[in-house]
Structure 1
Amino acid sequence: MKRKTVRIAMNGVTGRMGHRQHLVRSILALREQGGLELGGGTVLWPEPVLVGRRASALAALAERHGLEHVSTDLDAVLADPTVEIYFDAQVTAAREDALRRAIVAGKHVYTEKPTATGLDGALALARLARDKGVRHGVVQDKIFLPGLLKLKRLVDGGFFGRILSVRGEFGYWVFEGDWQSAQRPSWNYRAEDGGGIVADMFPHWEYVLHELFGRVTSVQALATTHLPQRWDERGKPYDATADDAAYGVFELAGGAIAQINSSWAVRVHRDELVEFQVDGTEGSAVAGLRGCRVQHRSTTPKPVWDPDVPAGHAFREQWQEVPDNTVFDNGFKAQWELFLRHVYADAPYHWDLLAGARGVQLAELALRSSAEGRRIDVPEIAL
């Protein structure tokens, strides 16, 4: 086998998501399995170059994982002709500028979302990448999770008949940081730093709905800040200026209606941190990150509303678990593999910067809907 080494600049991997999911469970996992087979006797060997602002944190991370290359000078890394791919998992406010510099330097780019703080910036990045002829991809990890892969299998197989509605519940209690440390960084709750649950989660909902059920054609949302004060990483109180909960209704091409609640101020009474219920004329399903249960039309019970007697049905027991039928890899790693094959084996790939711009557009229009108190159409965008 011929081994091809590809050097990947990874910016923002000292953060939780960049470290755990992208560095450890994706790039280093590819190295542990011996690289990525491209076919034709070639194995791709990813060589990460860790980039960030804190030299000590980068050095500690490199030592922990036995890596050699770190830098706090992004421009120097982008000027290095041996670095072919730039990956970004920074805070949202820093991402757009870094991606633009990487594209101008001729690097292929792969990035977390949102790709920019506004639609104009997101579209400008997509157009720049097209004009520069670089390959580009945006992380859309939810559709690579086992639960949603099972759900897509049901959609593609016609299990639901005509899909009527999608209901999503996402969220958990993020501690305020006073007597227990918060599970998320404080910038998430400052609008001036690009924070907010709409900016964070609505790009996810855009691609989940788009890929599985149809393009979002309108949005009506209510965004709010339930907890106006939080405590930062140093234990100092600060005003939470960004939304920490949002309640959205989405019309989809084809006629289905989706409702998704997103909150960092909710206590979980679900099997998983996110669940989607899909109801159709022939059957229904409830999918989480890993599991998926179904109830077909032929086995649907016939409950009768009677508040004066105990419930006569154990409703959860009347659903059937969808079998795995395959081995599911880490969703982030699975998409990394597809992107690398796109760059180095010319494999098809459509989760690009234009797809990322659709997510930014939906978040932007949702915030506008909330501010104006009305439903807003979501026009199609193109380069």
Structure 2
Amino acid sequence: MTAGRLRVGVIGANPDVGWAAATHLPVLAELPDFELTAVATRRAESAEAAAARWGARHAFTDLDELIAHPDVDVVTVSIQLPARDDLVTRVIDAGKHVYCEWPLAINGAEAARLRDLADAKGVRHIVGLQNRHHPAVRLARELVAAGEIGEVLSATFSYSAARSHLPGDRLPRRMIWLVDRERGANDLTILSAHALDLFGTVVGGFRELSALLSIRTPRMVVDETGEELAVTSPDQILIHGELDSGAVAAVQIMIGTPAGAGARMDILGRTGRLTLQTTTANLIGGEFVAALARAGRPPTILEIPERHRGPLPAASVAAGNVAVNYVLLAEAIRTGAPLSPDFTTATRLHRLVDTIAEAASTGRRTPVTLSASPPAP
């Protein structure tokens, strides 16, 4: 299995729309270490269309048939958490390597269970936290680690975006889970977590933090039906605290603006300042530009070295970052090399999100620990 191409089955392989169509399917068509052998969707016609378009031999509507098929070595789970049930557990139980989209689980405790189950089964696992692979983010991490701006004194990250592409407080039906805190896939657990993973990749994790979570748009309207939805997940997220390094840090996520300004990260060092800024309002699919300022001089835009660019330079930004994940997964399967972002990475990030919710609920400065207990209701 590890000598030839790794055979992949993609669950959630809608041929026309969605994350798999934008990233996983075109990436697997280009990477030489992989072969797309199976796809699955809820409808036979869409599964067959995806198989025909991307050259897969098998099309399924029964997800367990894909998981169990002998032509599948790796299962990519590209459906959102509210529709996933125990799907990742079933993949692991079948002894298949797994690429799971983020969020991995409902909380840190469940993420740890999946990590431990996968490790006990001996399967390799990776999670869709691909933003850390932005070439400019990789460069920034290298510069900070090398001391190019001296000791980091403080760091900030801000991101603003519209909740959907529709005007006013309208939301397409396919996205209504975003406003439901109980379903585990919302602006705190998705957008904020992606931002926190990117932020932590460059400057390290939080040692302790305080948080404020607010719902400033309490009602949304389903665009197709006019149904009014009560919003229970926060759309304004503010986190501040101390990093493991001792640096002071703040992260702010602002959702619901008419036109978002994208993401900006500022790292103030003792001898310089490093800035990352997205070129669009899209955190997941936008490119970052890195700039470095020293000794009171104006910032200089940095060239990205080739070593930080992914294996598919002609791909979209999001697809290029996903491709890096697949390359890392292939190396881990073939050689036993360490792998990140894996389910251990996901468990730590879920626990950080749990801590943010706890700090906001209690109003107290809260240490970030390795405890997997979910936050109190």
Q: Report TM bin, short chain.
A: 0.7 to 0.9
Aligned length: 348
- Counterpart of 2:62 in structure 1 is 73
Instruction: Supply the distance in 1 between the matched residues of 2:105 and 2:190 (Cα, whole angstroms).
Output: 11
- Of 102, 107, 111, 2:96 maps to 107
Q: How many angstroms does 1:179 deviate by?
A: 6.5
Instruction: Supply the distance in 2 between the matched residues of 1:281 and 1:96 (Cα, whole angstroms).
Output: 48
- Of 233, 246, 257, 1:266 maps to 257
Instruction: Supply the distance in 2 between the matched residues of 1:188 and 1:180 (Cα, whole angstroms).
Output: 13
Contact 2:39 2:66 survives alignment (8 Å): no
The reply on whether 1:19 has 2:21 as its aligned counterpart is yes
When residues 67 and 234 of structure 1 are mapped into structure 2, their CA distance, relative to the original with a 3 A threshold, is farther
Tell me the amino acid that sits aligned with residue 41 of structure 2.
Answer: G
Contact 1:220 1:376 survives alignment (8 Å): yes
Q: How many angstroms does 1:144 deviate by?
A: 0.6
Q: How many angstroms does 1:370 deviate by?
A: 1.5
- Counterpart of 1:212 in structure 2 is 202
Tell me the amino acid that sits aligned with residue 34 of structure 2.
Answer: W
- Of 337, 354, 364, 2:354 maps to 364
Contact 1:167 1:277 survives alignment (8 Å): yes
Q: How many angstroms does 1:348 deviate by?
A: 3.0
Instruction: Supply the distance in 2 between the matched residues of 1:197 and 1:45 (Cα, whole angstroms).
Output: 32
The reply on whether 1:253 has 2:233 as its aligned counterpart is no
Tell me the amino acid that sits aligned with residue 207 of structure 2.
Answer: T
Q: How many angstroms does 1:20 deviate by?
A: 0.6
Contact 2:7 2:35 survives alignment (8 Å): yes
How does 1:314-353 map onto structure 2 within 5 Å? Answer: 318-326=298-306, 328-329=309-310, 330-353=320-343
- Of 231, 243, 263, 1:240 maps to 231
Q: How many angstroms does 1:66 deviate by?
A: 4.1
TM-score w.r.t. length of structure 2: 0.84
Q: 1:299 aligns to what SS in structure 2? A: coil
User: 1:336-358 CA distances to partner (integer Å, 9 max, x unpaired)?
Assistant: 11111211233332322111011
- Of 281, 290, 293, 2:291 maps to 293
When residues 80 and 233 of structure 1 are mapped into structure 2, their CA distance, relative to the original with a 3 A threshold, is farther
Structure 1 residue runs of 5 or longer lacking an equivalent are 36-43, 301-317
Instruction: Supply the distance in 2 between the matched residues of 1:52 and 1:381 (Cα, whole angstroms).
Output: 36
- Counterpart of 2:218 in structure 1 is 228
Q: 2:275 aligns to what SS in structure 1? A: strand
Instruction: Supply the distance in 2 between the matched residues of 1:235 and 1:4 (Cα, whole angstroms).
Output: 50
Instruction: Supply the distance in 2 between the matched residues of 1:280 and 1:268 (Cα, whole angstroms).
Output: 31
Query: Which one is further off, 227-236 or 337-346?
Result: 227-236
- Of 271, 275, 285, 1:282 maps to 271
Q: How many angstroms does 1:215 deviate by?
A: 2.6
Identity of aligned pairs, percent?
Answer: 23
TM-score w.r.t. length of structure 1: 0.83
- Counterpart of 2:281 in structure 1 is none
Q: How many angstroms does 1:150 deviate by?
A: 2.1
Q: 1:83 aligns to what SS in structure 2? A: coil
Instruction: Supply the distance in 1 between the matched residues of 2:78 and 2:219 (Cα, whole angstroms).
Output: 26
When residues 375 and 176 of structure 1 are mapped into structure 2, their CA distance, relative to the original with a 3 A threshold, is farther
When residues 133 and 59 of structure 1 are mapped into structure 2, their CA distance, relative to the original with a 3 A threshold, is same
When residues 96 and 355 of structure 1 are mapped into structure 2, their CA distance, relative to the original with a 3 A threshold, is farther
Q: How many angstroms does 1:282 deviate by?
A: 0.4
The reply on whether 1:130 has 2:127 as its aligned counterpart is no
Instruction: Supply the distance in 2 between the matched residues of 1:201 and 1:193 (Cα, whole angstroms).
Output: 15
Instruction: Supply the distance in 2 between the matched residues of 1:75 and 1:190 (Cα, whole angstroms).
Output: 28
- Of 147, 150, 169, 1:161 maps to 150
Instruction: Supply the distance in 2 between the matched residues of 1:178 and 1:230 (Cα, whole angstroms).
Output: 11
When residues 345 and 181 of structure 1 are mapped into structure 2, their CA distance, relative to the original with a 3 A threshold, is farther
Contact 2:11 2:78 survives alignment (8 Å): yes
- Counterpart of 2:367 in structure 1 is 377
When residues 338 and 233 of structure 1 are mapped into structure 2, their CA distance, relative to the original with a 3 A threshold, is farther
Contact 1:172 1:264 survives alignment (8 Å): yes
Q: How many angstroms does 1:45 deviate by?
A: 3.4
User: 1:149-208 CA distances to partner (integer Å, 9 max, x unpaired)?
Assistant: 221121132111110111111131124846797588221112233232111134324433
How does 1:134-145 map onto structure 2 within 5 Å? Answer: 134-145=123-134
Q: 2:216 aligns to what SS in structure 1? A: coil
Structure number with bigger Rg? 1
Contact 1:108 1:136 survives alignment (8 Å): yes
Q: How many angstroms does 1:112 deviate by?
A: 1.4
The reply on whether 1:191 has 2:181 as its aligned counterpart is yes
Structure 2 residue runs of 5 or longer lacking an equivalent are 278-286, 311-319, 373-377
Tell me the amino acid that sits aligned with residue 251 of structure 2.
Answer: I
- Counterpart of 1:150 in structure 2 is 139
